[in-house]
């Protein structure tokens, strides 16, 4: 399709102003209240696709140092503890925590929420600076368990069929060059439909996947396969759920009412599905 991408690592908090000002075209990362607030304020920013989801729930890992010799027994132990998010109180991780804490005496407001890059989670769990976190890769999770630095905690709960990570387009595509935005999304639809379905981890994409994940090709079948929605669909009600959780915390959402129907550029998705066929 004649597309060339220049990739770089950008934190979620930094990505938002870069997308809004046209200095970043495409972002792979988590949703946050900041994204909702920006869209609520009229910024040219939209989600255009979910990423891969797994039938195996992500698991929170509990720091053995933070437990101080005690066993992990349940949500009550979270009260007053420090947990990380990449974007503060407006992180999508809090949707997971809200579900985990349901039925206990602990509320989201009882937690100490700290901002931390995902790559620093493992070290913070090892030292006890964090009570709980979700290391960003299976490899890091296994290393923590094998070293005895963490134990498995509760499963992270996301709306069924959705990942906490998404693909976003910024103003440089949506406002300045909508034709290019369509071309790029067409390419993603093509990738999802034709390269990331079925047993894709052992198919033609295996060499590329192994290189990106720093795995041997022979080890790829041991990884949990992700399901990539060929129609780029989102579960019904997921955005409303996010708004409800963030509204339970003070000063997180800066707009009134709901903008759940404005978060995803469904018209762009629908056109790409027609274009790719």
Mean pLDDT across the chain, nearest whole number?
90
3-state secondary structure the chain: CCCCCCCCCCCHHHHHHHHHCCCCCEEEEECEHHHHHHHHCCCCCEEEEECCECCCCCEEEEEHHHHCCCCCCCHHHHCCCEEEECCHHHECHHHHHHHHHCCCCCCHHHCEEEECCHHHHHHHHHHCCCCEECCCCHHHHHHHHHHCCEEEEEECCCCCCCCCEEEEECHHHHCCCHHHHHHHHHHHHHHHHHHCCCCHHHCCCHHHHHHHHCCCHHHHHHCCCCECCCCCCCCCCHHHHHHHHHHCCCCCCCCCCCCHHHCECHHHHHHHHHHHC
Query: What's this model's pTM, rounded to 2 decimal places?
Result: 0.79
Tens-digit pLDDT profile for residues 101-125 = 888 999 888 999 888 888 899 999 9
Structure confidence at residue 165 (pLDDT) = 85
**Running along the chain, 277 residues long, what does each successive block of 10 average in pLDDT?**
91 89 94 92 94 77 96 95 82 83 89 86 96 87 96 79 85 97 97 91 90 91 85 90 88 95 97 95
Structure confidence at residue 56 (pLDDT) = 65
Q: Domains for the chain: give ranges and CATH numbers.
A: 12-54+162-276 (3.40.190.10), 59-155 (3.40.190.10)
């Amino acid at each position: 399709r004649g597309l060339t991408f220049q990739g770089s690592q950008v934190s979620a908090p930094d990505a938002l102003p870069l997308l809004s000002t046209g200095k970043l075209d495409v972002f792979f990362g988590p949703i946050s209240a900041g994204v909702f607030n920006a869209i609520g304020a009229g910024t040219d920013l939209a989600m255009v696709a979910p990423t891969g989801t797994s039938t195996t729930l992500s698991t929170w890992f509990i720091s053995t140092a933070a437990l101080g010799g005690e066993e992990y027994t349940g949500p009550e132990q979270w009260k007053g503890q420090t947990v990380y998010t990449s974007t503060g109180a407006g992180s999508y991780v809090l949707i997971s925590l809200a579900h985990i804490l349901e039925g206990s005496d602990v509320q989201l407001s009882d937690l100490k929420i700290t901002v931390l890059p995902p790559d620093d989670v493992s070290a913070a769990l090892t030292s006890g600076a964090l009570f709980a976190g979700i290391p960003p890769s299976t490899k890091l999770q296994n290393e923590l368990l094998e070293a005895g630095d963490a134990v498995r905690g509760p499963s992270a709960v996301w709306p069924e069929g959705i990942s906490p990570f998404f693909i976003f387009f910024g103003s440089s595509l949506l406002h300045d060059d909508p034709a290019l935005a369509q071309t790029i999304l067409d390419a993603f639809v093509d990738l999802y439909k034709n390269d990331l379905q079925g047993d894709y981890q052992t198919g033609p994409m295996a060499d590329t996947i192994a290189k990106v994940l720093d795995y041997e090709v022979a080890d790829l079948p041991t990884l949990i396969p992700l399901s990539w929605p060929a129609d780029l669909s989102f579960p019904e009600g997921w955005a409303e759920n996010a708004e409800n959780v963030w509204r339970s915390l003070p000063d997180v959402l800066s707009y009134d009412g709901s903008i759940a129907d404005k978060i995803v550029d469904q018209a762009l998705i629908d056109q790409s599905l027609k274009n790719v066929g």
